[in-house]
Amino acid sequence: MILVTGGAGFIGSNFVLDWLAQSDEPVINLDALTYAGNRANLASLDGDARHVFVHGDIGERALVDQLLATHRPRAIVHFAAESHVDRSIHGPGAFMKTNVEGTFTLLEAARGFWNTLDGADKAAFRFHHVSTDEVYGSLKPTDPPFAETNAYEPNSPYSASKAASDHLVRAWHHTYGLPVLTTNCSNNYGPLHFPEKLIPLMIVNALAGKPLPVYGDGQQIRDWLYVKDHCSGIRAVLAGGRVGETYNIGGWNEMANIDIVKTVCALLDELRPDPAGPYARLITYVTDRPGHDRRYAIDARKIERELGWRPAETFATGIRKTVQWYLDNAAWVADVQSGAYKDWIGTNYSAR
């Protein structure tokens, strides 16, 4: 059995669904169901005895202790995090509470539980921390991609909070011997992505005939990773990664934001044409966000060399699957576009 934190969010729910599609090993799923956590993401698992959902916060030490003592998982896979840069600029406190204090509480609970284990069970236990490439800062156009040895240079409250959590995980390994693994991923995209992030926002706005807001000149470059490839990378690291090591998981797909938006528009023109004209007519350049990193790129050779992992999807195949998923799941989109979501979109974009 494994314990997954944040397993109702975008990456976490994809991980849980993929895990149970490939294994009968049960999952205890702990999620606080904040705005981006969606119980409906896991609807296909209703009634499945392999999936035990617990509504709660990683900062609730008594709850985490109880779950560990009752279910005695062989691993913790830690996704739970506040993860949106724009939200971290408007309200950094929630990011410090969840990403830093929450990770600290989870580490302490894991350490206490791990120290109760004996022999093979203690040796086999793993604490897998899921992080981001944003902790490394920003790259110049000619810089090599981020390697696991890059210095940390976070530039937003979000990336600073994730960098802090990475350092805590490392320290709990070196100080207390807790058997940890850390993965730093590039930008994820795919099904079940909350529509505040670039790709799902462009899809849902285009279908509604709304402006497609592009920050600055749109030339910010990211490495794009299909979420199910990320999940397979995590499984590979959990199964065979060396304790105490960090593994970068990337998609080998560097693209500028404006090119992403134009690709989405072209796919929608093909799959759901708009009588009013090409969707690219809706592209609107807006004021850039403060401290916007110019380029991220992941060097994923270590995980390939040590564990034989490579992404299965190209960007062309992954983005087509993603756009088609949103076209096929309009009810899911409507359900997550609550009043709170609409208020947030107004707060972030109205003044731009």
The confidence score (pLDDT) of residue 36 equals: 77
The confidence score (pLDDT) of residue 170 equals: 98
Active site residues: 133-134, 158
Residue 268 falls inside a structural domain? no
pLDDT, one tens digit per residue, over 177-220 is 999 999 999 999 999 998 888 999 999 999 999 999 999 999 99
Residue 301 falls inside a structural domain? yes
Residue 211 falls inside a structural domain? no
The confidence score (pLDDT) of residue 184 equals: 98
Neighbours of 35 (CB within 10 A): 15
With contact defined as beta carbons under 8 Å apart, do 292 and 156 qualify? no
Q: Which residue has the tokens 């799902």?
A: 200
The confidence score (pLDDT) of residue 108 equals: 98
With contact defined as beta carbons under 8 Å apart, do 28 and 323 qualify? no
- Residue 327 CA to residue 320 CA, distance in Å, equals 11
Residue 202 falls inside a structural domain? no
Q: Which domain holds residue 181?
A: 2-189+226-250+295-313
Residue 347 falls inside a structural domain? no
CATH classification at residue 18? 3.40.50.720
* Blockwise average pLDDT, block size 10, the chain, 352 residues: 97 98 97 87 96 97 98 98 81 93 98 98 98 95 96 94 98 98 97 91 97 94 97 98 98 96 98 98 91 90 98 97 97 79 57 62
Residue 216 falls inside a structural domain? no
pLDDT, one tens digit per residue, over 277-303 is 999 999 999 998 787 888 999 999 999
The confidence score (pLDDT) of residue 349 equals: 55
The confidence score (pLDDT) of residue 259 equals: 98
The confidence score (pLDDT) of residue 44 equals: 96
Residue 325 falls inside a structural domain? no
For the chain, the domain total comes to: 1
Residue 328 falls inside a structural domain? no
The confidence score (pLDDT) of residue 344 equals: 46
E-only strand ranges, the chain:
2-5, 27-31, 51-55, 75-78, 126-132, 180-185, 187-189, 212-215, 221-226, 246-249, 254-256, 283-286
